[in-house]
Amino acid sequence: MSKVEASEALVEAKVPLLKNNIDEHENEVLGRRVWNESKKLWHIAGPAIFNRVSNYSMLVITQVFAGHLGDMELAATSIAMNLILGLDLGIMLGMSSALETLCGQAFGAKQFNMLGIYMQRSWIVLFITGILLLPLFIFATPILNFFGQPQEISELAGVISMWLIPTHVTYAFFFPLYFFLQSQLKNNIIGWVSLVALLVHVFLCWLVVVKFKLGVIALVASGNVAWIVLVFGFFGYAVLCGCPLTWTGFSMEAFFDLWEFAKLSAASGVMLCLEVWYDKVLMLMTGNLHNAKKFVEALTICLTLNIWELMFPLGFLAATGVRVANELGAGNGQAAKFASAVAVVTSIIISVFFWLLIMIFRRQIGYLFTSSELVIEEVNKLSPLLGFTILLNSVQPVLSGVAIGSGWQKYVAYIDLGCYYLIGMPLGFLMGFVFQFGVEGLWAGLVCGGPAIQTLILAWVTIRCDWNKEAERAKLHLSKWGAPNHAQK
């Protein structure tokens, strides 16, 4: 063998080894990137999940204590909180989520003092919106009568709704404060204040119902205190010590460009409201089925489990929105893409775990809420649909977080309208009433026609997204909705 041939043979022998070493190095780098991104996501998602579980638990705890006062009190409290306050919550939360886009991108672009200005604009817009929504609480009784609720329940729910107005007012300040802190990764304070508010709420509910036996109105009134604790806790931290760069005091700049800000807030509100109200549609349609009582009770149990599990994907919605907005604001389109991918995969793994729990314990979960064998059997029948909905929840909220972080709210609102209300509702009506598949048909039609199609569309949009262009568009967002020259001084 010549020296040339020997040299070529040596090179050929080394190539596979060299290639394997490169692959191993790339895998190691990828693994490190995934680990680092996961830490960033969980740093936001963990407190966000705890905050959402705490806030939702405050509503559930109030209903649990109301149940100890009587069936009428439980029914009226549940309707007032789930329908009246629930509709209001969807609007206020949705409109304030515009801050996830603007504050997240401004923080990534290091335009720090614009975060406080954006929050003040959101306070103004949400306070005006809150005034416009007051008739929802003042005229709750005739509204509930219009939708066929019993007169006695409607009257008591109307009185309860009036006592929920303080909570409604706090929403206008709470949600902007929450997104203001979350966008700059002030997650520990969110978790600690949420814990204090939850403990205060449980103590006051016990004090009012068990110790002093003051009745359902006093119970609902005491529930306002926890939301006031949340607002003052977040505001005190932001103003006194926690945010020296992003809170520089009240500013007249908050009144500039309010119309543009309001349009983005409205698009965010429509986007989330169309999703939040979809469950209410399912409940109203189920109430019109034959022998509806057991179906409504079984569906309430399933939806309660679904909402509690949904807090995990919603935590990743928040984390994804912040991470995507931060990276786009900093001009890192590919980093935003990678954060989205890691969030989707992590959320899927968590939801598969909960899906397995539902499938394994499908015959036992009903006993957590009721002893009625008829209702428990109906819960068992609905468990596969609950499991499928949980799997959908693993992807759809995270993709909505990508949309919020990227500022796509207006387009997602159109997608939600088409999927949920032009496809899902007719399909659910068709399967539930025309083909007479009952509550299973209603749920299957609404889920397959709404969230399933929406998830496919959002996945397609996200996959085809040009992230470098989105980073450029984020710069335009910041110049359009802020005063970047002032922010950079």
Q: Rounding to the nearest 10 degrees, give the CA dihedral for residues 273, 322, 189, 276.
A: 10
Residue 283: per-residue pLDDT: 67
315 vs 304 pLDDT, higher one: 315
% the chain with pLDDT above 90: 21
CB atoms within 10 A of CB 274: 23
The answer to which of 228-237, 292-301, 467-476 has the lowest mean pLDDT is: 292-301
- Closest by alpha carbon to 416, among 269, 235, 215, 203? 269
Residue 119: per-residue pLDDT: 94
- Closest by alpha carbon to 128, among 153, 76, 91? 91
pLDDT tens, position by position, 312-363: 888 888 888 888 888 888 888 888 889 888 988 888 888 899 899 888 988 8
CA 24/CA 354 separation, integer angstroms: 33
444 vs 236 pLDDT, higher one: 236
Res. 98: pLDDT tops 90:
no
Burial class (CB in 10 A: 0-12, 13-18, 19+), 334: exposed
Residue 288: per-residue pLDDT: 67
The domains of the chain are located at: 46-256, 268-489
Half-sphere exposure of 482 toward its Cβ, with a 13 Å CA cutoff?
32
pLDDT tens, position by position, 64-90: 788 778 768 877 887 888 778 888 888
Reported confidence tier of residue 102, pLDDT bands at 50, 70, 90: confident
| Two structure tokens written together for 205 | 């509910």
Mean pLDDT of 271-296: 69
Residue 229: per-residue pLDDT: 96
Res. 2: pLDDT tops 80:
no
Burial code of 440-453, b = ≥16 C-beta within 10 A, e = fewer?
Answer: bbbbbbbbbbbbbb
Strands (E), 303-383: none
pLDDT tens, position by position, 154-210: 899 999 999 999 999 999 999 999 999 988 888 889 989 999 999 999 999 999 999
Mean pLDDT of 426-449: 84
Reported confidence tier of residue 370, pLDDT bands at 50, 70, 90: low
CA 174/CA 172 separation, integer angstroms: 6
| Two structure tokens written together for 26 | 């790339």
Reported confidence tier of residue 371, pLDDT bands at 50, 70, 90: confident
CA 214/CA 226 separation, integer angstroms: 18
Res. 231: pLDDT tops 80:
yes
Reported confidence tier of residue 483, pLDDT bands at 50, 70, 90: very low
Burial class (CB in 10 A: 0-12, 13-18, 19+), 59: buried
Q: How far is CA 379 from the centre of its chain?
A: 25
Q: Dihedral sign, CA of 258, 251, 111, 95?
A: negative
Residue 256: per-residue pLDDT: 83
